């Protein structure tokens, strides 16, 4: 009798363990795949590819938060701890995500856009060591680079299909549809380059530079100016004078200003551009309200075309 009771207890114990002690790496298809993105740009891309089979949360979803200096809170840490997939930009842009992921479970899938871009050398997670192939400080704003977004799309389709194999056909179809729209963006940039290749422009920060360069445009902004604006430090007077001279001499055909950052020196150069009849084009770092990625980039390309049409 005691032997039967012992065997029965052992059976119950093993059954409970199988029910509640499943390996963290086991695939589950019982609910939506939980994705956490550092910004709503990547959140929108993930939602487009995952559709109804994913639950997406974006840590930074509006223009009032600066990813460069953002400090994670308890809610952010909870989101990361419950995520199946985390999408970060990398390159020092959203380092708060890497800090939170350092203590997460082993099966968490981490997608780093800068790593996927293939453009940076050194550490893609440390802003002090991320450089391009020429050794220059790396432009980490890779969501403005359509080829990088294409690589993110491929990585997402793969990661989602691995997590939920029965949904792989949906993920592939959504990914193919999104990739087709990305190719349309590329074609638009090629057309702009054909019409305006070699035209000079200026910027406050390198945020839109990938898109501008793919459109055939040449950036004349002094590097010391855009670096200072991006880092939130004062622009040296001599560098500010060089910047203002671009407008007074009408050396550039358009000026692209980050509308999510600002300051007295930014206001000075914006005013100088307008005074000299240089079109000022506002650009943003995060997805504007009511927009999706494709619509947003389509409008950005249209704004480039309009600015250079004069």
For residue 256, what are the β-bridge partners? Answer: 203, 281
Tell me which residue of 138, 113, 169, 77 sits closest to 293, measured CA to CA: 113
Kindly state whether residue 126 falls inside one of the protein's structural domains. yes
Per residue in 60-112, pLDDT (tens digit) is 987 667 777 788 889 999 999 999 999 999 999 998 898 787 766 678 999 99
Q: Taking the CA atoms of 41, 47, 49 and 55 in sequence, report the sign of the dihedral they define.
A: positive
Kindly state whether residue 22 falls inside one of the protein's structural domains. no
For residue 203, what are the β-bridge partners? Answer: 256
Kindly state whether residue 297 falls inside one of the protein's structural domains. yes
Query: Do 269 and 134 belong together in one domain?
Result: no
Q: What pLDDT, on a 0 to 100 scale, did the predictor assign at position 106?
A: 76
Nearby residues of 282 by Cβ (< 8 Å), 6 or more positions away: 256, 257, 258, 259
- Minimum mean pLDDT among 109-113, 194-198, 229-233, 250-254: which range? 229-233
Query: Do 236 and 115 belong together in one domain?
Result: no
Kindly state whether residue 86 falls inside one of the protein's structural domains. yes
Q: What pLDDT, on a 0 to 100 scale, did the predictor assign at position 132?
A: 52
Neighbours of 296 (CB within 10 A): 18
Query: Do 268 and 172 belong together in one domain?
Result: no
Confidence label for 6 from pLDDT (cuts 50, 70 and 90): very low
Query: Do 138 and 257 belong together in one domain?
Result: no
Instruction: Sort strands 200-203 and 218-219 into parallel, antiparallel or unpaired.
Output: parallel
Domain count for the chain: 2
Kindly state whether residue 3 falls inside one of the protein's structural domains. no
Query: Do 105 and 240 belong together in one domain?
Result: no
- What is the distance between the alpha carbons of residues 128 and 117, in angstroms, rounded to a whole number? 18
Query: Do 304 and 252 belong together in one domain?
Result: yes
Read off the pLDDT of each residue in 192-206 and give the average, rounded to a whole number.
Answer: 97
Say whether pLDDT at 224 is over 80.
yes
Per residue in 44-58, pLDDT (tens digit) is 999 999 999 999 999
Query: Do 231 and 168 belong together in one domain?
Result: no
Query: Do 262 and 153 belong together in one domain?
Result: no
Per residue in 10-54, pLDDT (tens digit) is 333 434 343 333 333 344 457 999 999 999 999 999 999 999 999
Query: Do 165 and 38 belong together in one domain?
Result: yes
Query: Do 37 and 178 belong together in one domain?
Result: yes
Residue 233, domain extent:
197-309
């Amino acid at each position: 009798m005691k032997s039967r009771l012992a065997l029965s207890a052992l059976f119950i114990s093993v059954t409970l363990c199988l029910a509640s002690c499943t390996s963290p790496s086991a695939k589950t298809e019982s609910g939506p795949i939980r994705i956490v993105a550092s910004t709503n740009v990547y959140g929108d891309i993930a939602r487009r590819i995952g559709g109804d089979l994913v639950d997406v949360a974006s840590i930074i979803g509006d223009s009032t938060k600066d990813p460069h200096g953002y400090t994670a809170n308890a809610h952010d840490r909870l989101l990361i701890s419950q995520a199946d997939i985390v999408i970060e930009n990398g390159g020092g842009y959203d380092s708060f995500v890497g800090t939170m992921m350092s203590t997460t479970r082993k099966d968490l899938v981490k997608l780093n856009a800068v790593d996927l871009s293939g453009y940076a050398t050194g550490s893609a997670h440390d802003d002090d060591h991320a450089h391009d192939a020429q050794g220059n400080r790396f432009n980490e704003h890779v969501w403005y680079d359509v080829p990088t977004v294409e690589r993110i799309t491929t990585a997402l389709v793969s990661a989602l299909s691995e997590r939920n194999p029965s949904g792989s056909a949906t993920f592939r179809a959504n990914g193919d549809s999104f990739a087709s729209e990305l190719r349309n963006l590329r074609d638009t940039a090629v057309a702009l380059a054909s019409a305006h290749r070699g035209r000079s422009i200026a910027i406050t920060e390198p945020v839109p530079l990938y898109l501008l360069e793919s459109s055939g445009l040449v950036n004349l902004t002094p590097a010391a100016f855009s670096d200072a604006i991006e880092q939130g430090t004062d622009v040296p007077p001599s560098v500010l004078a060089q910047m203002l001279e671009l407008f007074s001499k009408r050396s550039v055909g358009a000026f692209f200003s980050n509308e999510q950052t600002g300051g007295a020196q930014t206001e000075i150069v914006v005013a100088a551009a307008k005074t000299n009849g240089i079109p000022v084009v506002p650009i943003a770092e995060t997805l504007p309200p009511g927009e999706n990625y494709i619509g947003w980039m389509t409008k950005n390309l249209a704004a480039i075309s309009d600015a250079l049409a004069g």
